[in-house]
Amino acid sequence: MATTDFTGEHTWLQAEHELSLRKLIEGSQYQEELKYDFNIKGELRHLDTNEPFVFNYYKNAHEQNHKRYQVLGRLITQYVYVLLERVCMLQKVYIPTDATEDEPRSFFFMSENALTSSSSLIVLLQDRGVFRAGQWGQRTIVTEGLEHGTQIPFIKMALESHGGVIVLNPNDNFVDLKTEKEWLSFSPSKESRTSMHSVWWIPKRCSSSPEEHTTYVWDHFISKSMAENVAFIAHGYGGLVFVELLVRRKQEVMNKVYSVAFIDSTHNTQHQARSEPQIQEWIQKYCREWVSNSKPLDKAVVSFVKANCPTVSAGTENYSLAPSCCLHAIFKYLKSMLKAKTAFRHSPVATRSSTRKKSSSI
């Protein structure tokens, strides 16, 4: 039995029969070019040399090196999906729910009782890119490891502290009509090499964009969940997508979401909600943003470009490491926001009638 310790706090045990990255690679035509697997620390290392991933494997062959990296990225995506289901015990939910049998579908992940439990719910919303559900950044996984590049440490902490989690998949927007064989070949023919520049893509209904995907999951799942307290953690473009959701479903979101933790968000409240002062006030009151900065973690950062909510340092200047660096700070903040909301809900509120009774008795 192989032991995999990604966070330094949890040991994830994977039985030998379970899928590893190496098992995805073995038996294929590219097993020599990609002799890599994740070690006990979750770092990608060469099986023979124990060296980090080498991007320039083929000399003076940029296209071939890029294709090799693309193949690795696709394999990592499949591997992370396995970890979400087998390590985090999340369920894969296909959408749209009314899709026909042959219709291309997207999906997202959620914990077993995410919709039926009244405990709080954390929703993870990633940046825009080639990476899929469970990843903050694919290149970060390759260079820094699973602890920094995947959302798994966030998922584990969300399950421990809040009870429920939903992992969105906002970048899974199209079906690629290229054959799997073509994708996984390092030496494409001249014809296929030409076709790579004219790829046919079919948009997935209700998930053709990050905004559409997020709105659909909100309408059909999050808004209908029994959880009274929902929080979002949104990275990069994911912040813009959340604000777009807030604009589209203003009252619903304001009633159900108690806080949002932005990480290097690209949203712009002035532009997205310029005629909605209520939205601007809500963001100012219930959101906080962590940004890549040279200041120590959680130290205030003055933003002259986007002064829409309290902004603090992520504790690193490296954009790709920002999520992992502010992990504990974010959950500490969300805990305090949830505590404040719960205390407010249970506090006695003085009504006009009670005030009149008190004044008349004096």
Neighbours of 352 (CB within 10 A): 7
The DSSP element (H or E) to which 79 belongs, if any, is helix 62-86
Rounded average pLDDT per 10-residue block, the chain, 362 residues: 42 47 78 90 94 92 91 93 94 96 94 91 96 97 96 95 93 77 52 48 94 98 95 98 96 96 91 82 96 97 78 97 98 95 63 42 39
**pLDDT score recorded for residue 304:** 66
**pLDDT score recorded for residue 264:** 97
**pLDDT score recorded for residue 193:** 44
208 contacts 235 by C-beta, under 8 angstroms: no
Distance between CA atoms of 231 and 256, rounded to whole angstroms? 9
CA 257 to chain centre: 17
**pLDDT score recorded for residue 31:** 82
Query: For residue range 307-333, what is the model confidence (pLDDT) as tens digits?
Result: 689 999 999 999 999 999 999 999 999
Distance between CA atoms of 53 and 83, rounded to whole angstroms? 21
**pLDDT score recorded for residue 336:** 96
**pLDDT score recorded for residue 358:** 41
**pLDDT score recorded for residue 224:** 95
**pLDDT score recorded for residue 19:** 60
205 contacts 95 by C-beta, under 8 angstroms: no
**pLDDT score recorded for residue 297:** 98
36 contacts 25 by C-beta, under 8 angstroms: yes
Distance between CA atoms of 346 and 324, rounded to whole angstroms? 34
Distance between CA atoms of 90 and 166, rounded to whole angstroms? 9
Which DSSP state fits 138?
A: H
**pLDDT score recorded for residue 187:** 53
**pLDDT score recorded for residue 307:** 62
